[in-house]
Amino acid sequence: MLGISPKETSEELAEEVSELSEKFHKSKVFSTWAALKTNDFIDGINIANQAYQGSFIKPNIIFLNMINRDVYSGRFNEIIEEAARLQIGVLIYSQHLEYGLGERKTINVWIRNRAPNWKISWDIGNLDLSILVAHKLQRNWKARIRLVTVVENEEQKEQASKFMDDLIDQARLPKTEVAIYVDNFNELIKKSPAADLNIFGLEANPNFGFMDRMVAETQTTCLFIRDSGLENIFA
């Protein structure tokens, strides 16, 4: 855990982060923490990630909360770009303020239309970390995973169905449903299959407006995920 604050509030923040780390330890979750004194939040994140590359257990995911986006939205791409250079995955958490994580029973993982390349290969694009996170949550929550995609026609639907069946089999995913729609994404999202969490891929240049719209239209908390390039769901 990394706390970043100006000099005048650094001691207070360090104490808060230390207390949070202790709570993790009491829950039997290993954690380490550090506090940086800097007025530049973005530079603090990137410098820390660079320094941690030499640590025994270096970070492989940056977890950012949309509730803090005013702090970093103007230079958000700098975090994504540096994470990509350092091969660190990115998770952006956007919570629905009313429903939170709901009953924690169903997780939708959205897969982009891959036409005409609906084929399984060792590199399945920016999808490994999304499925790995969903699988971890599925185990913790005892929930079910649903793979969701939107295609343009029946031929693509058949290709997508074969892809998802192979993906579930080769990635050894338990309790996994498949939902394939011939529709327009912007229309379908308004009537998307019910879930407690929706997971979407994160592009190199994040669109905050799109993220807000997904939370509003799905009426759920959403995760937006970008691979580090090192994950592999088939490993």
Give the CATH number of the domain where residue 210 resides: 3.40.50.620
Q: What is the pLDDT of residue 5?
A: 86
User: What pLDDT score was predicted for residue 224?
Assistant: 96
Instruction: Establish if 97 belongs to a structural domain.
Output: no
6 CB-near residues (< 8 Å, 6+ apart): 37, 38, 39
pTM, rounded to two decimals: 0.88
- Whether residues 8 and 52 share a domain: the answer is yes
* Domain match, 205 and 110 both: yes
Check whether residue 111 and residue 210 sit in a common domain.
yes
Judgement on whether residues 189 and 118 belong to the same structural domain of the protein: yes
- Same-domain status, 129 and 80: no
For residues 140 and 212, membership in a common domain is answered with: yes
123 lies in the same domain as 191: yes
Q: Are residues 80 and 139 in the same domain?
A: no
Asked whether residue 122 falls in the same domain as residue 87, the answer is no
Q: Which residue among 69, 92, 115 closes a domain?
A: 92
Residue 9 pLDDT more than 90? no
DSSP state for residue 166 in the 8-state scheme = H
Residue 101 lies in a domain: no
Strand partners, 147: 109, 178
Cα–Cα distances in Å, from 204 out to 84, 131, 133, 219, 225? 9, 19, 19, 25, 10
Query: Tens digit of pLDDT for each residue in 44-90?
Result: 889 989 988 888 888 899 988 888 777 665 677 888 889 989 999 99
**Domain of residue 28, residue span:** 2-92
Same domain? For 162 and 50 the reply is no
What is the per-residue pLDDT for 177? 94
The closest of 130, 115, 126, 113 to 198, measured between CA atoms, is 130
The reported pLDDT for the residue numbered 105 is: 94
For 26, residues 6+ apart whose C-beta sits below 8 A from its C-beta are none
Average pLDDT on 178-193 reads 92
Q: Does residue 100 fall inside a structural domain?
A: no
Residue 84, in any domain of the structure? yes
Structural domain includes residue 99:
no
162 CB contacts (<8 Å, ≥6 apart)? 118
Give the model confidence (pLDDT) of 98-139 as tens digits.
899 999 999 999 999 998 888 888 778 789 999 999 999 999
Q: Name the helix (H) or strand (E) containing 21.
A: helix 10-26
- pLDDT score at 59: 87
Whether residues 221 and 120 fall in one domain: yes
Reported for 49-55, long-range contacts at CB under 8 A and 24+ positions apart, including other chains, are 49/82, 49/83, 49/86, 49/88, 50/82, 50/86, 53/86
CA neighbor of 72 nearest in space, from 1, 4, 122: 4
Residue 119 located in a structural domain: yes
Domain count, the chain: 2
- Select from 65, 92, 119 the last residue of a domain: 92
Q: At what angle do helices 41-52 and 76-85 cross, to 10 degrees?
A: 10
Q: What percent of the chain shows pLDDT beyond 90? A: 56
> Which residues, in sequence order, are bridge partners of residue 107?
145, 197
| Of 109-113, 149-153, 167-171, 206-210, the least confident | 206-210
Residue environment code for 130-139, b if the CB has 16+ CB neighbours within 10 A, otherwise e: bbbbbbebbe
Last residue of a domain, one of 92, 116, 143: 92
